[in-house]
Amino acid sequence: MQALDSKSYIERLERHFQQYFGVEGKKRILDRGPKEKLHAGFHVLEFPPNARQGLFVYCTVGMSADRMDENLIELFAFSPKPDLQLVEMMTYCASYHRTGLPLNIHHTVNIGQPWLDSSICDHAFISLPYLDGEIEIFDFEHHEIHCYWLIPITRAERDYKMEHGCEALEQLFEDKGLDYSNPGRECLVTGK
């Protein structure tokens, strides 16, 4: 596979997200951490609540820039408030994607800290964007890049997925009414 034109990739991906949400995203760059492992143009776009989403949205831009494999993905996550912890979480996921095992649909990630405030959600699950299906496919130079939803989950929910599979976890989300934007939510497995 030929390497993608990363400058054009980043510019067009920004437009993809901004056209979808209908507002300008604010470019956020983490000033610490694994920046040397990221593509030089990598950043996170922070979108305020808008006509499509009543929440803040954080999107990776450049997580898969210049990749030459079948793991061409970008991620987005929701938040009830603006918070640099989300920029950090997205940046660390992008760094892992580029230096560890590449991430893809239905993978889980240990984010190593609460996703917001004192949340018990310190892991994340990569899911199809059920609430925002039109955002999923970003076509670029005859390549299909998938924009997946990064959902904060608990360790017990991650363990449940490992034992029962991703479909069972997603069914648990549906059956118990996952409050995905609430950092104070209880674990759907333990009820605590």
Tens digit of pLDDT for each residue in 128-144?
998 888 999 999 988 89
For residue 81, which amino acid is it?
K
Whether 66 contacts 4, CB under 8 Å: yes
**pLDDT for the residue 149:** 97
For residue 176, the surrounding DSSP H or E stretch is: helix 166-176
Q: Token match 């079948």: residue? A: 70
**pLDDT for the residue 56:** 98
**pLDDT for the residue 1:** 43
The set of residues, in sequence order, having a beta carbon less than 8 Å from that of 124 and lying 6+ positions away, is 77, 89, 93, 108, 109, 111, 115, 150, 151, 152, 153
**pLDDT for the residue 6:** 86
**pLDDT for the residue 142:** 86
**pLDDT for the residue 158:** 98
Coil, helix or strand for 41? coil
Angle between helices 166-176 and 155-164 (to 10 degrees): 130
**pLDDT for the residue 132:** 84
For residue 88, the surrounding DSSP H or E stretch is: helix 84-99
Token couple for 181: 């934007």
pLDDT less than 50: residues of the chain: 1
Taking the C-alpha atoms of residue 129 and residue 92, their distance in angstroms, rounded to an integer, is: 20
